[in-house]
Chains A and B, each alone.
Chain A
Amino acid sequence: MSKSILSKEAREKVSEYQQAEIVVGIPSYNNVRTISHVVRAVSAGLVKYFPNYRCVIINSDGGSKDGTPDVVKNTMVEDFNTILIEHPLYPVHKIVTPYHGIPGKGSAFRTIFEIAHLLQARACAVVDSDLRSITPEWLEGLIEPILIHGFDFVTPLYQRHKYDGTITNSIVYPLTRSLYGKRIRQPIGGEFGISGNLVSHFLDDDKVYDTDIARFGIDAWMTTTAVASGFKVCQSFLGAKIHDPKDPGADLSSMMVQVVGSVFNLMETYYQSWSKVANSETVPEFGFKFEVATDPVRVNLERMVANFNQGVSDLNSVWEKFLSYEVLSGLRKISNSNILEFRFPKPLWVRIIYEFALAYHQKVMSRHHILSSLTPLYLGRTASFVNENVDSSPEQVESDVEELCLEFEKQKIYLLSKWK
């Protein structure tokens, strides 16, 4: 492990607590509206399901200006008697610390991992601070598979709105599944359970925290590293995922660059691992699955299709440098069609993702340009997904995603044949 990035106060707290079996990390940045609920749910989950363990909650904050750290310090569970059968042996401690490094979730996680490592934690869980739907049961779902069943990495399974998580559904899940052969449904879910061994492994490679992985890419990096390095991975059903509305100004393009860039970047690192994988297999699942009603969401199809059409007409000079003739003519064929009848065929989409991955690998131009030029195509595919599933039930949407995954697996041979 490299030089410590912890603040003096955090180091003092670590010396005071000395050891903890369970560490729960909550990265935050201006989450005053939801953080109190998250901290209470985490505290309740720890005392309810792990009363005989030493537990520490860490809030790793990115310099919030709305008083988020103060809220964390002052939040307590009012009455444990309503949820407890037995009283906890140890109090749940809290460490509230700012993180250092590139602003982003990855840097916050690095601080959490370092504290977990110093406290010799057997299990570490991380949960987002903007969650509205987190319950104490989430902690059981994320930590129990590690402490009781010996798993190293627990990824979440959620009940989400059928249009939610479109980058996950159309790129990250099918791509990581076809590459690494594990059907991890939410590879960039945001909530994870991690064993002490894997925490140490994550800290070994300190250079990654200076890249885009330190921002949105940390989730993809953790999942891929765990799978490609042979750690035991499972999934745990947590229920509905509802979080605070994201900042509408958040740039989709930069999100794409960071998330998809991280997955493409990891393809370079783990080529030896994914090139040998031919099929995919399920991973063990924990938790009791149940249906949850989700609120309807507003989708601006017109804007998405317009962006796609503009991309096809204006970005041809960029794409022709790395997309094949078949793909370009396929795109021209589907552009300018009626909005409600707009369809983006799955085989075409898969070929596009693989050709983008190849262009990224071969550095045919600035990697940032390659990735940001994917945005109009992604919006086109998302519009098509919405059109295809207007009346679909959650099961039908899931089988639609499954179809896409199989297409990714089918065309993987194309990717391998072009990868030099």
Chain B
Amino acid sequence: MRSVILSSPFTIFWERLKDIGPKILEIFLIILLGFLCAWILKVVARVILKIIKFDNLCDRIGLSTAMVKANVKRTATDILGLIVYWLVIFWVLVLSLSMLNVQVIDDLASSFLLYLPHFFIAVLVLIFGYFFAGFVGRALLIALVNAQVKSAKPISLTVHILILILFLTMGIEQLGIAKGVVVVTFSILLGGVVLALAIAFGLGGKDMAKDYLEKKTKASSEPRKKPDEFSHI
């Protein structure tokens, strides 16, 4: 009798273990395979990014410089490879947990799993947009100054801000925050800017526009002001 009392918990534990055991083994195998897949995908992602010269793009837009300043020792390609790696690992862990068939974990995992890529894409879009806007704004500023366009600074600043707003909208849309509101606000803002410029140019600057067009048509019929005659090289 005493031996039965003592052995029954072990028996129950053993019975449960027999039920769960194969599942634990499955989870273990899935995690193992997951690590392998994550590693392969990381390598593939890095090869693709190297082929499309992603690091060069990051150099051009100043992302690499910002990373060096932040004491990040890895290249942008390496970091994206790592993001791919850990995303796969995370996905595999959630998948393996769902093997336990616990409803709460299932729900939490599936909603989190669905949201996570959006979050990462939003972060990437915002980071890329920040540097891209800076790159385009600066390129435009330098080109306009070299072409001696008087309003080089305000034009390049406007373009910089518009690109920032565009990427911010894209990022917020990815996060799913007030989707419609953000898109509508952006459309109104952009439409408003264009309309304001059109009205300003059409009404306020009609004389200027007239002068400009007259000068243009006159310039095309008259010989252009001669350039410098010396050779730079």
Contact = CB atoms under 8 A, between A and B. Distances in A.
Interface of A: 161, 163-168, 172, 188, 216, 243, 245-246, 248, 252-253, 255, 259, 297-300, 303, 306-307, 310-311, 314-315, 317-318, 363-369, 372-373, 375-376
A262 B157 CA distance: 31
17 contacts: A165-B232, A166-B232, A172-B233, A255-B233, A297-B229, A307-B145, A307-B148, A310-B152, A314-B153, A318-B141, A365-B65, A366-B135, A367-B59, A368-B60, A369-B138, A369-B139, A369-B142
Interface size, B (range): 20 to 34
B209 interface: no
Contact of A366 (B61, B146, B152, B232): B61
Given A310-B145, A311-B145, A314-B152, A365 B230 contact: no
A165 B231 contact: yes
Q: Which label, helix, strand, loop or mixed, suits the secondary structure of the B interface?
A: helix
Contacts of A299: 228-230
Nearest to B60: A366
Contacts of B142: 315, 318, 369, 372-373
B197 interface: no
**Closest 4 interchain pairs by CB?**
A297-B229, A163-B230, A248-B227, A298-B229
Contacts of B117: none
Given A365-B62, A369-B139, A376-B145, A168 B233 contact: yes
A216 B233 contact: yes
Interface of B: 59-62, 64-65, 135, 138-139, 141-143, 145-146, 148, 150, 152-153, 226-233
A109 B150 CA distance: 40
Contacts of A165: 231-233
Nearest to A162: B230
Contacts of A363: 59, 64-65
B145 A164 contact: no
B148 A297 contact: no
B139 A252 contact: no
A166 B145 CA distance: 20
A314 B141 contact: yes
A161 B231 CA distance: 9
Nearest to B224: A248
Contacts of B139: 366, 368-369
Contacts of B64: 363
Contacts of A307: 145-146, 148
Contact of B233 (A161, A259, A310, A376): A259
Contacts of A161: 230
Nearest to B59: A363
B227 A300 contact: yes
B62 A166 contact: no
B65 A297 contact: no
Contact of A166 (B148, B153, B230): B230
Contacts of B60: 366, 368
A172 B233 CA distance: 9
A23 B150 CA distance: 51
A396 B233 CA distance: 20
B152 A245 contact: no
Contacts of A300: 227-228
Contacts of A364: 65
A252 B232 contact: yes
B224 to A, nearest CB: 8
Nearest to B64: A363
B48 to A, nearest CB: 21
A373 B145 CA distance: 9
A364 B60 CA distance: 10
A164 B231 contact: yes
B63 to A, nearest CB: 10
B148 A366 contact: no
Contact of B146 (A166, A298, A368, A376): A376
Nearest to A168: B233
B113 to A, nearest CB: 38
A100 to B, nearest CB: 22
B117 to A, nearest CB: 30
A27 to B, nearest CB: 15
Contacts of A318: 138, 141-142
Nearest to A241: B231
Contacts of B231: 164-165, 243, 246
Nearest to A186: B233
Contacts of B232: 165-167, 252, 255
A303 B152 CA distance: 16
A310 B148 CA distance: 7
Nearest to B149: A310
Contacts of B143: 253, 372
